[in-house]
Chains A and B, each alone.
Chain A
Amino acid sequence: MSPHRIAGRDQGAPIRFSFDGEAIEGRAGDTLASALMASGVRLMGRSFKLHRPRGVVTAGPEEPSALVTVVRPGRRDVNLPATMVELFDGLEAHSQNRWPRLDLDLMSVTGRLGSLFSAGFYYKTFMGPQGAWERLYEPLIRRAAGLGHASTEADPDSYEIVHAHCEVLVIGSGLAGLSAARAAGEAGRRVIVLEQDRAFGGGALVDGALESWRSSTLAALSAMPEVRMLYRTTAVGAYGHGVVAALERVADHLPEPEPFQPRQRLYVIRARRIVLATGAVERLVALANNDVPGVMLATAARAYVNRHGAAPGRSAVFFVNNDEAYAAVRDLKAAGIAIAAVVDPREPTPIAAEAEAAGLPVLFGHEVTAVRGRRSVAGVRVRKRGTMQERAIACDLLGLSGGYSPQTQLAAQAQLGTAWIEAIAGFAAIGPSPDAEAFSAMIPAGAAAGVFGRLEAARHGAAAGARAAGLASDPAQPPAEAREPAVPPRRDGPIMPLWEVRGRGKAFVDLQNDVTADDMRQAAREGYRHVEHAKRYTTHGMGTDQGRTGGLVGAAVLAAAQGREVSAVGLSKPRPFVTPVSFGALAGAETGAHFKPERRLPLHGWHEAHGAVFVRIGLWLRPLVYSGGDTSWGPVVAEARAVRSGVGITDVSSLGKIDVRGRDAAAFLDRIYANGFSSLSVGKARYGLMLREDGIVFDDGTTSRLAEDHFIVTTTTGKATEALEHMEFHAQCVWPELDVRLANIADHWAQFAIAGPRSRAVLSRIVAGLDLSNEGFPFMAAGEAIIAGVPGRIFRISFSGELAYEVAVPAGHAAFVWDAIMAAGEPDGIRPYGLDALNLMRIEKGHVAGSELNGQTTAADLGLGRMLKKKGDFIGRALAGRPALAAADRLQLVGLHPVNKARRLRNGAHLVSAGEPKRSQGYLTAACMTSEGPHDWIGLALLEGGHGRHGERMIATSPVHDEAIEVEIASPHRLDPENARVKA
């Protein structure tokens, strides 16, 4: 057995692991810290800034010093407190921030120059010359300072976010937490208990007298079906109204997650009431060299002895200012560790006097002034308070206890108050005040509320649990003694607030960020008097441990430097997260291709099977071209030519579709659209333009009237959701007096455009119940029909500029109808066309689309100014009349083509004049190869005063492509400006 194991407490099965490449054996139930301690390893890391040797200080997540990197295949987790790393077979851990080795750190020279590296050092030192910070100083500092280095590879693990609900959430499972959970559970409430440790019990885990209470309480809780106990789960943030985020380390204690198991799980918990039973964390005392490996908090030393059978040293000195810490002294002594001295600055209290009477060497009225030793504690210097005469005491462990700070971070986030409690010399959670109660929903209990003592905390917790469960406290009801721990009431004497013993040597108040008491005084001297300013100036409390062990100590030093009370200076605001949270857990399952959902057309499978190249537009996946992967212009032009010369079919199901009904449907659309719809006859469709309130074009689309009180509105794909919301808002909130009822029918109807001179012939073969002749169903007609046996709707509208129909059928019949149209069109050579060909044809026709409806253009800019109705109000009418929106030099829609027709045009190219090559007068919004000439290019552009500049020659310049192409401005309506084709 290792000499660092305590005899008779070496029971777990052996587990092999490595630290910095050295093979070591630990025991089941060990943390990395306890296993290293039990094998005699003291030096676990180097400090952040000064590279000083550091060992383990605590036994929990508040650990400031023993931060390690754990490496697994494909994984590299950094800055993990060794106190929270559970041992598993094959664990590979590495120390951090040392070069080349932990025991020979050449960077530790910075430690010896430490007096230079005081607060504000960087701000004052690395000031000039200009640019040197980025090029020289920052890279240098980054190499010298810092902790672990994260993996640069993709994270192989999965994560999940889970929503949970309960009536009573209990945070912490110590005496108060378990008592609260039991009280609420017995009241029949749905309870969730969160425990950050791998076992429930909190302080009861290190106190043998509480073991039977712990196990009987846990047995009672596990018998309650509505009580859920989550361990390895840390509440990391409280957000008000009972919302708490908690991180469960599901598989961090395993070599890798089980199949289908996430590595971590982030809970979003919505609780009616929260019992905050987060306990308290022991504080260090600022004294010279209080960071030497072997300086440890008294509670931590006790935990290693009692939980792990690991000996934190062989000969200990304790420096304590309170009676609670004597439990640690007693337990270490019982474990066979020599107690060289207990240094207590107070007068004897009953408990301390008993300890002395039991044979412990207690030095009352004394203080430790410095720690001796460099890489390991060799002894301490002690003196009687108020005297200068010091003496040395040899030891290899200094157990420090400066008191206990209630863990109030979550309380502060939930806007619970904190109050200074003199009896514990700390801030405890109080409240909530009546006006904050609904928001905070939180009841503090036990040590978090400043209630120390085992029996007292259990009772306080039970009362908080009952209150959270909504039970009225009944003074006639005697306390349920069977549920309380069998321990006597607290009879501790008073604590003596003791923050710092001034001496020679660095006295740390923040071990992780290497902040000393002197740094805090310097901050005060230089004007950073507020605790928040001092924090930012010194980095005090900004580490992964958030300054748990020294936060109040630093505040007290800052207060003393200003001659103020620490209760008046206070603590800095603790924002979420309370402990570090991985990005993976925050992202959950929504990563990579699933960062956002994807929308697929009902015919996605058909398109895929027919060689579609898909393009993602917003959430949609749409067929760009049916070419089997060829993304050159050839297949696009071929598809467009097929339409222009024969017939083609394209899937326009992604268009927004809104069913508008009601007596006032027409009046409603008159107000929503800039043009009118009251005048539209039943059985007809009309193009409509929607403006925003500010007069800019919002959306466009066709609207068809199927009955006096029934319209079908289509919107663009991109604005479908916004347009529906816009209409619902106005129907419900702005004009509630109108009888208009909207329904989103976008996904119910699949819609196809069948376009080309042969489209009528093809459709006539499968359409029943509708006369498709030009007279019977002219351009802009709309009606219901049976298409291939399926009841649907047909609209004679055209985006391509050809004779065209849009056919709508219920989506579950889309494949059937599409196949029927393809079969009916086979004699005419029908072929599908994608978004590129659709776009090509609309550019030829001069129709506007998303790149022109860009949130900056007016109807007049797009050449649609005459659509605005002269009579009657509509959204955007007033502001569309602003002078700036009618200025002559506005960017206006034009067509253009290169003078050398085969020169390729590019979207985004700027239009400049030859005389002024650096002043952009507009830009190309769309460009394509045409369906006409062999390799001709055309485009659309927005150009200053463009409506009056047809025929002008300009340069389309694209500096990123190093291109300048001479173009001629023209009308955007290049193809069939008389609209003869669509009316054929």
Chain B
Amino acid sequence: MSKPERGLGWGGLPPPGHHGALGRDPVKLQAFMRDAVEVRLAPGMAEALRHAAAGLGLALPGMGESAGTGSATGAVTTLGLAPGEWLALARPEEPGAFARRIASGLEAAASVVETGHGLACFSVSGRAAREVLAKGCRLDLHPAVFTSSTAARTVIAQIPVTLWRKDEAGAADSPVFALAVPLTFAQSFAHFLLGASAGTGAEILPASKD
């Protein structure tokens, strides 16, 4: 039996290349994959979770930091989704390995549920990224408001979206926005991205695990 290889789980963006109008600074569009777990604090276990997360090197936004922010610690990005609720994302590993590592590290302090295969992730980057996303995103993505440590859940093109910035601080001029949508909406969301970026032009990159 061959070794199982993880696929995108949807049809993917069009083949790499240019899309839409020419002559402007095009955005870069890319689909990517993540392992992900939803972490939910067990009642009365905040102190234990803080301790356990520190042990894992996991920064949980809102546990002493302001809520709704994303934080990339090493290979793991954690996004605060709601009080006591986080999404932790990492590059794809062996099936189940990431979830097991987080779950064993956090033990009874939180429940850890694997959700990564249910997320289709996209990155939209470049000078015109804000302009493209503004065609569906109601949130203010100005760098002074949506900083590189901001995360949000919103609705774009009638599709639920988890949105964060994938770039490092200080990249205000050419931000990298990451958007995760439910996998089964991925094709419709790709249609939105292609439509929204047609006016500025887009460079489509090959799907990535990075």
Give A contacts to B, CB under 8 Å. 160-165, 190, 258-262, 268, 270, 589-590, 594, 596-602, 604-605, 620, 653-654, 659, 661-662, 739, 741, 743-750, 766, 788-791, 810-817, 820
Q: Is B40 an interface residue (CB 8 A)?
A: yes
What is the bound-complex CA distance between A679 and B114, given in angstroms?
27
With A746-B118, A789-B1, A814-B9: A589-B111 Cβ-Cβ less than 8 Å: no
**Which residues on the A side are within 8 Å of B158 (C-beta)?**
590, 596-597
B182 near A747: Cβ-Cβ < 8 Å? yes
**Which residues on the A side are within 8 Å of B48 (C-beta)?**
none
**Which residues on the B side are within 8 Å of A811 (C-beta)?**
9, 117-118, 183
Q: Is B57 an interface residue (CB 8 A)?
A: no
| Most chain B beta-carbon contacts within 10 A, residue among A745, A766, A810, A813 | A810
Residue in B20, B40, B138, B184 whose CB lies within 8 Å of A268: B138
Known A-B contacts: A261-B199, A594-B188, A594-B191. Give 6 more (CB < 8 A). A160-B135, A604-B11, A659-B113, A746-B182, A789-B3, A811-B183
**Which residues on the B side are within 8 Å of A162 (C-beta)?**
134-135
B7 near A816: Cβ-Cβ < 8 Å? yes
B135 near A741: Cβ-Cβ < 8 Å? no
Q: How far is the CB of A362 from chain B (nearest CB, A)?
A: 55
B43 near A739: Cβ-Cβ < 8 Å? yes
| Most chain B beta-carbon contacts within 10 A, residue among A599, A661, A743, A813 | A743
Residue in A661, A739, A741, A816 whose CB lies within 8 Å of B4: A816
Chain B's interface: helix, strand, loop or mixed, by majority? Answer: loop
What is the bound-complex CA distance between A875 and B38, given in angstroms?
28
Chain A's interface: helix, strand, loop or mixed, by majority? Answer: mixed
| Most chain B beta-carbon contacts within 10 A, residue among A743, A747, A789, A812 | A812
**Which residues on the A side are within 8 Å of B114 (C-beta)?**
745, 748, 810
Bitwise interface map of B from 3 to 18 toward A, beta carbon under 8 Å scored 1, else 0: 1111111110000000
A-B interface, 6 closest residue pairs, ranked by CB to CB distance from nearest: A747-B118, A748-B118, A597-B188, A810-B117, A812-B6, A165-B140
Beta-carbon nearest neighbor of A739 in chain B? B43
Residue in B136, B140, B195, B201 whose CB lies within 8 Å of A270: B140
What are 30 A-B interface contacts by the 8 Å CB criterion?
Answer: A163-B134, A163-B138, A165-B140, A165-B142, A259-B21, A260-B20, A260-B198, A589-B135, A589-B192, A594-B188, A597-B188, A598-B187, A599-B182, A602-B184, A744-B118, A745-B114, A745-B118, A748-B114, A748-B115, A748-B183, A749-B118, A766-B1, A788-B1, A789-B4, A791-B95, A810-B114, A811-B118, A812-B9, A814-B9, A815-B7
**Which residues on the A side are within 8 Å of B116 (C-beta)?**
748, 810
With A163-B138, A604-B10, A789-B1: A748-B117 Cβ-Cβ less than 8 Å: yes
**Which residues on the A side are within 8 Å of B9 (C-beta)?**
602, 750, 811-812, 814
What is the bound-complex CA distance between A270 and B191, given in angstroms?
26
**Which residues on the B side are within 8 Å of A791 (C-beta)?**
95-96
Bitwise interface map of B from 55 to 71 toward A, beta carbon under 8 Å scored 1, else 0: 00000000000000000
A598 near B95: Cβ-Cβ < 8 Å? no
Q: Is B157 an interface residue (CB 8 A)?
A: yes
B38 near A599: Cβ-Cβ < 8 Å? no
What is the bound-complex CA distance between A270 and B117, given in angstroms?
35
Q: How far is the CB of A750 from chain B (nearest CB, A)?
A: 8
**Which residues on the B side are within 8 Å of A744 (C-beta)?**
115, 118
**Which residues on the A side are within 8 Å of B189 (C-beta)?**
597
**Which residues on the B side are within 8 Å of A817 (C-beta)?**
4
| Most chain A beta-carbon contacts within 10 A, residue among B96, B118, B184, B192 | B184
| Most chain A beta-carbon contacts within 10 A, residue among B116, B118, B142, B195 | B118
Q: How far is the CB of B188 from chain A (nearest CB, A)?
A: 4
Q: Is B178 an interface residue (CB 8 A)?
A: no
**Which residues on the A side are within 8 Å of B95 (C-beta)?**
790-791, 810, 813
Residue in B96, B111, B117, B140 whose CB lies within 8 Å of A741: B111
B21 near A739: Cβ-Cβ < 8 Å? no
Beta-carbon nearest neighbor of A814 in chain B? B9
**Which residues on the A side are within 8 Å of B1 (C-beta)?**
766, 788-789, 820
What is the bound-complex CA distance between A653 and B183, given in angstroms?
11
**Which residues on the B side are within 8 Å of A788 (C-beta)?**
1, 4
B184 near A747: Cβ-Cβ < 8 Å? yes
B8 near A260: Cβ-Cβ < 8 Å? no
Which range contains the number of B residues in contact with the other chain? Answer: 35 or more
B135 near A161: Cβ-Cβ < 8 Å? yes
What is the bound-complex CA distance between A605 and B183, given in angstroms?
14
What is the bound-complex CA distance between A811 and B196, given in angstroms?
27
What is the bound-complex CA distance between A598 and B183, given in angstroms?
11
**Which residues on the A side are within 8 Å of B43 (C-beta)?**
739
With A741-B40, A746-B118: A602-B10 Cβ-Cβ less than 8 Å: yes
What is the bound-complex CA distance between A659 and B39, given in angstroms?
12
Residue in A164, A596, A739 whose CB lies within 8 Å of B42: A739
B4 near A597: Cβ-Cβ < 8 Å? no
B191 near A812: Cβ-Cβ < 8 Å? no
Q: How far is the CB of A763 from chain B (nearest CB, A)?
A: 14
B21 near A260: Cβ-Cβ < 8 Å? yes
Q: How far is the CB of A251 from chain B (nearest CB, A)?
A: 11
Q: How far is the CB of A582 from chain B (nearest CB, A)?
A: 18
What is the bound-complex CA distance between A575 and B140, given in angstroms?
27
Beta-carbon nearest neighbor of A721 in chain B? B160
B38 near A813: Cβ-Cβ < 8 Å? no
What is the bound-complex CA distance between A659 and B135, given in angstroms?
34
Q: How far is the CB of A616 from chain B (nearest CB, A)?
A: 12
| Most chain A beta-carbon contacts within 10 A, residue among B4, B6, B119 | B4
**Which residues on the A side are within 8 Å of B21 (C-beta)?**
258-261
B4 near A743: Cβ-Cβ < 8 Å? no
**Which residues from 98 to 146 on chain B have a C-beta closer than 8 Å to any C-beta of chain A?**
111, 113-119, 134-140, 142, 145
What is the bound-complex CA distance between A594 and B199, given in angstroms?
18
Q: How far is the CB of A30 from chain B (nearest CB, A)?
A: 28
A164 near B4: Cβ-Cβ < 8 Å? no
With A161-B135, A589-B195, A789-B3: A662-B157 Cβ-Cβ less than 8 Å: no
Q: Is B152 an interface residue (CB 8 A)?
A: no
Beta-carbon nearest neighbor of B8 in chain A? A812
Beta-carbon nearest neighbor of B119 in chain A? A747
Q: Is B76 an interface residue (CB 8 A)?
A: no
Q: How far is the CB of A508 from chain B (nearest CB, A)?
A: 43
What is the bound-complex CA distance between A61 and B139, given in angstroms?
32
What is the bound-complex CA distance between A242 and B43, given in angstroms?
39
With A590-B157, A596-B158, A748-B114: A743-B184 Cβ-Cβ less than 8 Å: no
B185 near A743: Cβ-Cβ < 8 Å? no
Q: Is B159 an interface residue (CB 8 A)?
A: yes
Beta-carbon nearest neighbor of B158 in chain A? A597
Q: How far is the CB of B135 from chain A (nearest CB, A)?
A: 5
Beta-carbon nearest neighbor of B115 in chain A? A748
What is the bound-complex CA distance between A868 and B95, given in angstroms?
40
What is the bound-complex CA distance between A312 and B181, given in angstroms?
59
B10 near A741: Cβ-Cβ < 8 Å? no
B157 near A747: Cβ-Cβ < 8 Å? no
Q: How far is the CB of B19 from chain A (nearest CB, A)?
A: 10
**Which residues on the A side are within 8 Å of B111 (C-beta)?**
661-662, 741, 743
B199 near A260: Cβ-Cβ < 8 Å? yes
**Which residues on the B side are within 8 Å of A741 (C-beta)?**
40, 42, 111
What is the bound-complex CA distance between A262 and B201, given in angstroms?
14
What is the bound-complex CA distance between A164 and B145, given in angstroms?
13
**Which residues on the A side are within 8 Å of B10 (C-beta)?**
600, 602, 604
**Which residues on the B side are within 8 Å of A160 (C-beta)?**
135, 196, 199
Beta-carbon nearest neighbor of B11 in chain A? A605
Beta-carbon nearest neighbor of B146 in chain A? A165
With A600-B184, A791-B96: A163-B5 Cβ-Cβ less than 8 Å: no
What is the bound-complex CA distance between A569 and B95, given in angstroms?
74
Q: How far is the CB of A246 from chain B (nearest CB, A)?
A: 13
**Which residues from 158 to 210 on chain B have a C-beta closer than 8 Å to any C-beta of chain A?**
158-159, 182-189, 191-192, 195-196, 198-199, 201
A190 near B142: Cβ-Cβ < 8 Å? yes
**Which residues on the A side are within 8 Å of B119 (C-beta)?**
747-748
Residue in B42, B117, B134 whose CB lies within 8 Å of A812: B117
Q: Is B33 an interface residue (CB 8 A)?
A: yes
